């Protein structure tokens, strides 16, 4: 879906001011930018609809990007995620306590505004994110087919690549902060257990597995999993990750500047004209889609 970038900024600011979140938008995710074919699947009932700019949803939904498509997701705890093409990311758990309504917009914050707990699942593809500094009582975890990444106020990138028929590699990179990677499917003595990576480091896991009908790795079929210890990120890859994050930060700053120019009213109008939402109480899309919406197949890991 193509929309004017300034309108997207207005919309994002209007929907994610802290007072609004404190009243009704706790533990929500908003689609801040959508390019190409991006789907939103309700995992409880199996309904899939087109994801649109400004659409909000809660835990229990999966975002799926097709070829030459991408999505930027913003969580109400201040975390921002970019999904590349051919990616599937599930919001398995997301909870958040109420917070101070006078703190400003969430993008002003240097840390999450209240205790929150996030658990995402990257089924396949590539995601890059920026997580605010977490409170001691908060947690942010990204699961992968072979384990999990515990985020500690971090800029990160996770990529699941198909190396050849039935062979895969998961690479977890950190450009700022730190990540604790837990490998649960790795052969003992081959990087198993926990691996701590800091800024400028990454760890990779190679394995063999089968995929299911949705193109997601079937964890029960994983074999020959071997992980590396913390190693430096190749300079070219580090530059690419940092470039993605800088674009994300720049867009966030544009949101604030637009709001200072009186963009909130325009954002509210844009939300009325083009935004659609998912009602967390109903657990199904309220606009668009209904009970007759057909379930669409997700994009598998590209050959």
pLDDT digits (tens, 9 = 90+) for 73-128: 988 888 889 999 999 999 999 998 877 656 555 556 666 677 899 999 999 999 99
Cβ neighbours of 10 (radius 10 Å) = 26
Asked whether the beta carbons of 81 and 121 are under 8 A apart, the reply is no
Q: Which helix (H) or strand (E) holds 279?
A: strand 278-279
Kind of pairing between the strands at 38-42 and 47-50: antiparallel
Burial annotation 117-128 (CB, 10 A radius, 16+ → b, else e): bbbbbbbbbbbb
Percent of the chain, pLDDT > 90? 45
Which of these, 57, 59, 71, lies nearest to 8 by C-alpha position? 71
Q: What is the pLDDT of residue 30?
A: 87
CA distance 35 to 27: 24
Check whether 279 has a pLDDT greater than 90. Answer: no
Q: What is the pLDDT of residue 265?
A: 43
Q: What is the pLDDT of residue 108?
A: 60
Percent of the chain, pLDDT > 70? 67
- Phi/psi of residue 285, nearest 5 degrees: -60, 135
- Tell me the CATH number for domain 5-285: 2.60.120.1440
Q: How far is CA 53 from CA 85, 137, 225, 258, in A?
A: 17, 31, 38, 17
DSSP-based three-state secondary structure for 32: strand
Task: Locate 291 and state its tokens.
Answer: 């009970």
* Beta partners for residue 128, in sequence order: 82, 157
Task: Locate 104 and state its tokens.
Answer: 């400003």
Spatial CB neighbours of 247, under 8 Å, sequence gap ≥ 6: none
Task: Locate 110 and state its tokens.
Answer: 């240097």
Strand runs labelled E in 36-115: 38-42, 47-50, 56-57, 61-65, 70-75, 80-83, 87-96
Strand runs labelled E in 131-277: 139-144, 147-151, 155-164, 167-176, 178-183, 193-198, 201-208, 223-227, 231-232
Q: What is the pLDDT of residue 109?
A: 63
Q: Which of 44-53, 200-209, 255-264 has the lowest mean pLDDT?
A: 255-264
CA distance 227 to 206: 6
The predicted model gives 176-192 an average pLDDT of: 77
Please list the alpha-helical segments (H only) found in 30-163: none
The predicted model gives 254-266 an average pLDDT of: 45
Q: How confident is the model at residue 9 (pLDDT cuts 50, 70, 90)?
A: very low
CA distance 72 to 239: 20
Check whether 10 has a pLDDT greater than 60. Answer: no
- Model pTM above 0.95: no
Q: What is the pLDDT of residue 191?
A: 53
Q: What is the pLDDT of residue 246?
A: 81
Q: Which of 22-31, 156-165, 237-246 has the lowest mean pLDDT?
A: 22-31
């Amino acid at each position: 879906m193509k929309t004017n970038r300034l309108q997207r900024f207005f919309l994002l600011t209007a929907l994610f001011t802290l007072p609004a979140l404190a009243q009704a938008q706790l533990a929500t995710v908003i689609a801040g930018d959508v390019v190409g074919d991006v789907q939103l699947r309700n995992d409880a009932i199996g309904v899939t609809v087109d994801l649109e700019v400004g659409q909000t949803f809660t835990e229990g939904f999966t975002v799926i990007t097709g070829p030459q498509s991408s999505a930027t997701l913003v969580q109400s705890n201040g975390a921002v995620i970019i999904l590349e093409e051919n990616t599937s990311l599930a919001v398995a758990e997301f909870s958040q306590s109420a917070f101070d309504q006078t703190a400003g917009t969430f993008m002003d914050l240097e840390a999450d505004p209240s205790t929150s707990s996030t658990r995402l699942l990257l089924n396949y593809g590539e995601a890059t994110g920026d997580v605010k500094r977490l409170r001691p009582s908060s947690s942010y975890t990204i699961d992968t087919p072979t384990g999990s990444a515990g985020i500690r106020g971090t800029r990160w990138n996770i990529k699941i690549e198909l190396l050849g028929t039935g062979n895969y590699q998961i690479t977890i990179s950190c450009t700022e902060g730190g990540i604790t990677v837990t490998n649960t499917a790795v052969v003992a003595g081959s990087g198993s257990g926990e691996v701590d990576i800091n800024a400028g480091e990454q760890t990779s896991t190679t394995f063999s597995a089968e995929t299911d009908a949705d193109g997601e790795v079937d964890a029960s079929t994983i074999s020959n999993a071997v992980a590396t210890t913390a190693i430096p990120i190749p300079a070219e890859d580090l530059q690419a990750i940092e470039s993605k994050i800088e674009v994300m930060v720049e867009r966030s700053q544009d949101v604030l500047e637009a709001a200072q120019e009186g963009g909130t009213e325009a954002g509210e109008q844009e939300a009325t004209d083009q935004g659609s939402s998912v009602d967390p109480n109903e657990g199904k899309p309220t606009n668009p889609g209904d009970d007759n919406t057909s379930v669409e197949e997700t994009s598998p890991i590209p050959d």
